[in-house]
């Protein structure tokens, strides 16, 4: 977006007032746009503010008395930051938090604009920002967080984010510039994250699971870093919780999973990955000296973010929606819904920018674990790719004569959702969808009353 | 007697970063659907060379840098010479992306020394520099070699920085219709040497391009049983529909 010249405020004029004016101005046009039904915008008000006032991020961040908490990692950012937000609000903090998907600088500034009053003043005590892989180094140039949660690093959208090893290197480089009193809440069960922990200076708190009953029997296939980040030799696992997350050690150089100081907490949400999200949020709360009682109480009625295990009733049919955006996330969702006894599946695969344009990764998901007796529907922009994957996963080895249990393909999502509602089986339909597909499903089922 | 083949999957733990596992699944399933026994034989750092030599078809895929280095060293010293001997004898093989670069003479990064390849394929790869664009996106091409597949349209997703140029001893696999292919300039994609194919196509390659999978399986069986073998047909409607979806996306 380009702005007329007269709107660009010169940067060398008095600070506080101009910053406030920019906030008021962008807040005003954001309101105007909401009234016109164009949407308030989760990124563009911040984008305008940044163009008018490139230094505005650090100015706004400095207004937060309790500083900033960053949450980064491939999977679990939204759930974890919502948990942290829930805990902090419970103890009376006002929190500024960027909207899901608005993980860049403009999303952060937008969240401040939303939070500010009409005098352009920041009203929050603390900022919780979820940051995607590539923008963490960028954001650290403007924001010096007091606390950082690093959840995990999985292969995700290689065409956009690049390779896991490269991200690890970039993160270490960016994080090593932070002050030595920065608190790191790290998932020690992820070798890459533990490697980052060893490469930065600060107060490091590891979380991880300590439950041998949760070990995976068979290795899943979406493995990113089963090789020692220190010496490059193959890691040995006492047990794998999922993907490359587990109790690992290197027989060659001796590095091993750091003993977690936070390892046990009752999870309010199903799924192993939510146990990790919970442990991360709890570890952060504990670093703020909050008591177990307070944390328990605050998380008691925690409800997940939209599209994350969301339950929707549509035309008498119970639909359970699971955002599943990369091999590790998909395998985790799949495992969870199978444990929940899922018999009806709708897989929705899109290849838009937020989903990643390369859909090759669906071949790294263990769809073979879906039972033969299941009903499988597929849809999305890349419905046929998904159907092909399901065919290779589900059609048995021996030559099948007559009817083969191929998935039902619905190029139009609307048709898939309509069909799903005609399945009068008393069983829920489990929808596993990529990011933009999840938004589409919600739009059809909840946004417009069309079904 | 039931026909059978053994499929060597080179470095499954090091070099299967881009859903390349799909290629192996497709080879195995298409055999099984036809009543051909197909065993996947993982061949990694510790695997004995005799295990590799016992295989009838070879697959090797893409990798991340760190893993690529580990696999590369092992391939150059140990597995590569054996694979070269097998490919020279006519054992069919598929090398995708990083593996495709590995089997050439060398890979020249934008900084640092040339990295030697296994010299199985007469090709070289150079990275044109930090600022050069990676070649990323959906891609479509028409097969020119092998003759049995000439005219077949293939689709995939390419994502590579290195530019590959074929030497005189190598034939291209396909002519690019839309996308970049080997180097984004000469219009060719992939390479064919005897019964071995190299390609930059992810997607992965074989699910949406089953003709290549069947050609590899057929050649493997023919090499093993020393007779002409015709494969029974398989319903590939979904592959055709998935291809069409890519073509619509590419505006073809």
In 10 A of CB B131, how many CB atoms? 6
List of E strands, A190-234? 203-207
What does the domain layout of chain A look like in residue ranges? Answer: 63-299, 308-447
CA distances from A80 to A72, A243, A270, A277 (A): 10, 19, 14, 5
pLDDT of residue A451: 33
Terminal-residue alpha carbon distance, chain A: 37
pLDDT tens profile A42-96: 788 888 889 988 888 888 888 899 999 999 999 899 999 999 999 999 999 999 9
CB contact under 8 A, B159 and A158: yes
Buried b (16+ CB within 10 A) or exposed e, B221-234: bebbeeeebeeeee
Q: Kindly identify which residue of chain B lies nearest to residue A406, measuring between CA atoms.
A: B238
What residue of B is the nearest CA neighbor of A224? B17
Residues of chain A with pLDDT under 50: 1-15, 222, 224-225, 399-403, 449-451
B97 flagged as catalytic: yes
Residues near A451 by Cβ (< 8 Å), separated by ≥ 6? A314, A315, A417, A418, A421, A444, A445
d(CA A62, CA A236): 44
Distance set, CA B21 to CA A147, A368, B63, B158 (Å): 39, 13, 12, 16
- Contact status of A244 with chain B (Cβ, < 8 Å): no
What pLDDT does A212 receive? 87
Tell me the three state secondary structure of residue A184.
strand
Task: Determine whether the interchain pair A358/B13 forms a contact, defined as Cβ–Cβ distance below 8 Å.
Answer: no
Three-state SS for B181? coil
Alpha-carbon distance of A256 to A325, in angstroms, equals: 29
Contacts of B33 in chain A (CB under 8 A): 395, 397-400
CA distance A268 to A301: 8
Domain B4-250 is of which CATH architecture? 3-Layer(aba) Sandwich (3.40)
* pLDDT, position A406: 75
Asked if the Cβ–Cβ distance from A363 to B45 is below 8 Å, we say no
pLDDT digits 0-9 by tens, B101-141? 999 999 998 878 898 999 999 999 999 876 778 899 999 99
Exposed/middle/buried for residue A418 (C-beta within 10 Å: 0-12, 13-18, 19+):
middle
E strand or H helix at A17: helix A15-35
> What is the tens place of the pLDDT at every residue in A385-405?
999 999 999 877 554 444 456
Stretch 393-422 of chain A: residues touching chain B, C-beta under 8 Å: 395, 397-400, 404, 406, 409
Check: CB of residue B7 under 8 Å from CB of residue B92: no
The phi, psi pair for B9, rounded to 5°, reads -110, 105
The three-state secondary structure class of A449 is coil
CA dist A371 and B104 (Å) reads 43
| Nearest-CB residue to B245 (from A155, A232, A384) | A384
- Residue A317 touches chain B, beta carbons under 8 Å: no
Q: Do A363 and B207 touch (CB under 8 A)?
A: yes
β-partners of residue B8 are: B41, B58
Alpha-carbon gap: B89 to the closest alpha carbon of chain A (Å)? 30
A219 in B contact zone (CB under 8 Å): no
Contact A358 B34 (CB under 8 A): no
CA distance A306 to A79: 10
Using DSSP bridges, classify how beta strands B106-108 and B123-126 pair: parallel, antiparallel or unpaired.
parallel
Q: Is the pLDDT of residue B151 over 80?
A: yes
* Residue B66: pLDDT over 70: no
Helix (H, G, I), strand (E, B), or coil: what is residue A214? helix
Q: Please name the residue ranges forming H helices in A185-316.
A: 191-199, 272-287, 292-299
Q: Is A325 on the interface with B (CB under 8 A)?
A: no
User: What whole-number distance in Å separates Cα of residue B185 and Cα of residue B166?
Assistant: 12
Instruction: Please count the residue pairs, one from chain A and one from chain B, whose beta carbons lie less than 8 angstroms apart.
Output: 107
The Cα-based distances of B151 to A51, B52, B108, B176 in angstroms read 52, 33, 33, 12
Please give the full DSSP string across B235-248, using - where no structure is assigned. --HHHHHHHHHHHH
Virtual torsion, Cα B123, B114, B86, B27, nearest 10 deg:
-80
Tokens at B185, concatenated: 């300039």
- Helix (H) / strand (E) element for A440: namely helix A435-442
pLDDT, tens only, B37-47: 999 999 988 89
- What lies within 8 Å, CB to CB, of A221 at 6+ separation is A327, A364, A366, B16, B21
Architecture in CATH of A63-299: 3-Layer(aba) Sandwich (3.40)
The two tokens of residue B10 are 């080179």
CB atoms B242 and A384 under 8 Å: yes
Largest pairwise CA distance in chain A: 79
User: With an 8 Å Cβ cutoff, are B204 and A164 in contact?
Assistant: no
> Which pair of structure tokens corresponds to residue B15?
């070099």
Tokens of A406: 């191929």
**What does the DSSP 8-state code read for residue A44?**
H
* B65/A166 Cβ within 8 A: yes
ipTM above 0.90, yes or no: yes
Instruction: Give the pLDDT confidence score for residue A424 in this predicted structure.
Output: 84
Who's near A40: CB < 8 A, 6+ residues apart?
A: A30, A31, A33, A34, A114
Are the C-beta atoms of residues A388 and A378 closer than 8 Å to each other? no
Using a cut of 0.95, tell me whether the model's pTM lies above it: no
pLDDT at B71: 85
Locate the domains of chain B by residue range.
4-250
Tell me which CATH code domain A308-447 carries. Answer: 3.90.190.20
DSSP 8-state code for residue A303 = -
* Residue A302 near residue A90 (C-beta atoms within 8 A): no
Of the candidates A155, A359, A382, the beta carbon closest to that of B17 is on A155
Active site residue B165: no
| Residues whose CB falls within 8 Å of the CB of residue B73, separated by 6 or more in sequence, listed in order | none
Detail the DSSP E strand segments found in A213-284: 235-242, 245-250
**Residue linked to tokens 């140990």:** B78
d(CA B202, nearest CA chain A) in Å: 7
Residue B155's nearest CA partner among A360, A293, A349, A128 is: A360
Closest CA–CA distance from residue B167 to any residue of chain A (Å) = 29
Quote the CA–CA distance of A59 and A20 in Å, as a whole number: 10
What distance in Å separates the CA atoms of residue B111 and residue A333, rounded to the nearest whole number?
A: 41
Q: How far is CA A126 from CA A66, A129, A139, A142, in A?
A: 5, 10, 16, 16
Strand A183-187 to A147-150 pairing: parallel
pLDDT for the residue A218: 59
Q: Strand, helix or coil at A284?
A: helix
Which residue in the list B55, B97, B127, B160 is annotated as catalytic? B97
The active-site residue out of B202, B226, B228, B247 is B202
Put simply, the answer to whether B45 touches A234 (Cβ < 8 Å) is yes
All residues at 6 or more sequence positions from A366 whose CB lies less than 8 Å from its CB, including other chains? A220, A221, A331, A334
Structure tokens at A235: 């890691």
DSSP sequence for A69-94: EEEESSSSHHHHHHHHHHHHHHTT--
Measured in angstroms, the CA of B243 and the nearest CA of chain A are apart by 9
Per-residue pLDDT at A27: 87
Which stretches within B54-134 are classed as H helix? 65-74, 80-89, 98-102
Compute CA distances A116 → A57, A59, A338, B214, whole Å.
13, 13, 44, 63
CA–CA distance, B26 with A140 (Å, rounded to integer): 44
**C-alpha to C-alpha distances, A302 to A89, A308, B124, nearest whole angstrom:** 12, 13, 57
| DSSP code for A221 | S
């Amino acid at each position: 977006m380009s702005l007329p010249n007269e709107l660009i405020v010169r940067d060398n004029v008095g600070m506080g007032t101009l910053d406030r004016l920019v906030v008021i101005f962008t807040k005003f046009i954001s309101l105007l746009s909401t009234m016109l039904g164009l949407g308030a915008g989760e990124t563009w008000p911040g984008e305008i503010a940044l163009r008018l006032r490139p230094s505005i991020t650090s100015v706004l961040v400095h207004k937060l008395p309790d500083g900033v908490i960053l949450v980064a990692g491939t999977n679990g950012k939204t759930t974890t930051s919502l948990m942290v937000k829930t805990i902090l609000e419970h103890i009376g903090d006002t929190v500024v938090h960027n909207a899901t998907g608005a993980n860049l600088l403009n999303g952060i500034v937008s969240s401040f604009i939303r939070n500010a009053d009409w005098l352009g003043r920041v009203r929050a005590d603390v900022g919780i920002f979820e940051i995607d892989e590539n923008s963490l180094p960028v954001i650290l140039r403007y924001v010096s967080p007091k606390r950082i949660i690093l959840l995990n690093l999985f292969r995700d959208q290689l065409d956009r984010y690049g390779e896991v090893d490269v991200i690890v290197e970039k993160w270490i480089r960016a994080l090593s510039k932070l002050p030595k009193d920065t608190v790191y809440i790290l998932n020690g069960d992820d070798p890459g994250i533990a490697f980052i922990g060893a490469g930065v200076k600060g107060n490091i708190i590891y979380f991880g699971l300590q439950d041998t009953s949760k070990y995976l029997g068979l290795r899943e296939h979406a493995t990113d870093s089963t090789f020692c980040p220190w010496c490059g030799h193959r890691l040995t696992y006492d047990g794998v919780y999922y993907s490359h997350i587990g109790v690992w050690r290197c027989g060659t150089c001796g590095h091993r999973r750091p003993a977690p100081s936070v390892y046990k907490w009752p999870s309010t949400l199903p799924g192993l990955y939510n146990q990790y999200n919970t442990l991360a949020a709890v570890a952060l709360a504990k670093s703020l000296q909050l008591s177990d009682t307070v944390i328990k109480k605050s998380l008691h009625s925690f409800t997940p973010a939209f599209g994350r295990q969301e339950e929707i009733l549509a035309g008498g049919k119970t639909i359970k929606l699971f955002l599943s955006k990369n091999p590790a996330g998909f395998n985790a969702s799949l495992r969870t819904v199978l444990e929940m006894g899922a018999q009806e599946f709708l897989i929705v695969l899109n290849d838009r920018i937020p989903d990643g344009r390369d859909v090759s990764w669906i071949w790294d998901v263990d769809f073979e674990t879906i039972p033969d007796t299941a009903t499988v529907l597929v849809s999305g922009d890349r419905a046929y790719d998904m159907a092909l994957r399901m065919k290779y996963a589900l059609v048995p080895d021996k030559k099948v004569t007559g009817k083969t249990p191929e998935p039902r393909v619905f190029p139009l999502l609307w048709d898939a959702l309509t069909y799903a509602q005609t399945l009068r089986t008393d069983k829920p339909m489990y929808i596993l969808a990529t990011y933009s597909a999840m938004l589409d499903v919600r739009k059809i089922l909840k946004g417009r009353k069309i079904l | 007697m039931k026909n059978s083949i053994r499929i060597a999957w080179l470095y499954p733990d090091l070099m299967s970063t881009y859903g390349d596992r799909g290629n192996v699944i497709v080879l195995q399933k298409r055999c099984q659907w036809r009543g051909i026994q197909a065993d996947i034989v993982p061949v990694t750092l510790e695997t004995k060379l005799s295990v590799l030599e016992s295989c009838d078809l070879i697959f090797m895929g893409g990798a991340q840098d760190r893993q690529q280095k580990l696999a590369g060293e092992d391939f150059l010293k140990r597995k590569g010479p054996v694979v070269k001997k097998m490919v020279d004898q006519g054992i069919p093989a598929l090398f995708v992306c990083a593996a495709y670069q590995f089997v050439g003479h060398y890979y020249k990064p934008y900084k640092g020394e040339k990295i030697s390849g296994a010299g199985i394929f007469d090709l070289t790869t150079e990275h044109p520099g930090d600022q050069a664009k990676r070649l990323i996106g959906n891609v479509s091409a028409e097969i020119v070699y092998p003759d049995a597949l000439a005219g077949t349209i293939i689709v995939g997703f390419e994502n590579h920085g290195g530019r590959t140029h074929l030497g005189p001893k190598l034939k291209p696999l396909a002519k690019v219709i839309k996308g970049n292919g080997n180097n984004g300039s000469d219009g060719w994609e992939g390479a064919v040497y005897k019964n071995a194919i190299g390609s930059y196509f992810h997607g992965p390659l074989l699910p949406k391009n089953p003709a290549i999978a069947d050609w590899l399986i057929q050649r493997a069986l023919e090499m093993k049983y020393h007779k002409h073998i015709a494969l029974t047909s398989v319903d590939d409607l979904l592959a055709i529909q998935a291809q069409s979806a890519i073509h619509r996306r590419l505006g073809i």
